Amino acid sequence: MATTTGAVTAAAAGTGSLGQEAYERLLTELISLEIAPGERLSVDALARRYRISQTPIREALARLESDGLVVKTHLRGFTAAPGFSRREFAQLFDIRLLLEPYAAGQAALHRTPEQAAALQEVAARLRAAADRPAPPDHGVCTLLDGQFHDLVAAAAGNPLVRESLARLHAHLHLARVPRPATDAALAAAEHEPVVTAIVTGDRHIAEAAMRSHLERARDRLAAALDRSGP
């Protein structure tokens, strides 16, 4: 970020903070389906509802557009991205099953002590969020799940694999598939053998554990898609 005067820096920081707040609120509403797929997003209406100016709303919508959760079209403006088709869902998991077991195996070989500790910490945070007595916070669990998978990809030591997975925005899109409240706890439990294998340096078990996790997640989400309609 370029250096500027104190007044301008303070103003920019304020806008950035409001933009981050707007992004997080919109993200939560999108992945919890409070904002339905295909719903129009009025900048003016959102600014009034959030009681902030239009500038941070536009910043947030631009970020969400890059995440693939919002679509901007000429004349119509912003709308929530449509939901997954069955074909897109299958293709997404095909790619993940090609890349993520490999990433987990490489992470077992190349992870640093700091990366191993970060994986353990995020896995523990997801387990705690999923095991709450009250229904788990879907948005929090989604973001922790995405962070976990990104840490695995980072620990693999192959930036191209990590970037390829990041561009999918898989966790944000899959979060919009309605699923039972127990899903987060199941995912957290399936992460445990992945973490153990990476920490202990067992490449083959890491690959197998990640593949098993993805296949189970795919099957659960496919069932949820079937229940949600055509």
pLDDT digits (tens, 9 = 90+) for 155-213: 999 999 999 999 988 888 888 887 777 888 999 999 999 999 999 999 999 999 999 99
Residue 230 pLDDT greater than 60, yes or no: no
Looking up tokens 């500027």 gives 4
Residue 227 pLDDT greater than 80, yes or no: no
Mean pLDDT of the residues in the chain: 88
From edge to edge, which strands make up the β-sheet containing 40-41? 40-41, 77-80, 70-73
Domains of the chain are 6-80 (1.10.10.10), 86-228 (1.20.120.530)
Residue 2 pLDDT greater than 60, yes or no: no
Please report which residue ranges of 5-112 form alpha helices under DSSP H.
Answer: 6-31, 43-50, 54-66, 86-110
Residue 87 pLDDT greater than 80, yes or no: yes
Residue 83 CB partners (closer than 8 Å, separation 6+): 37, 176, 177
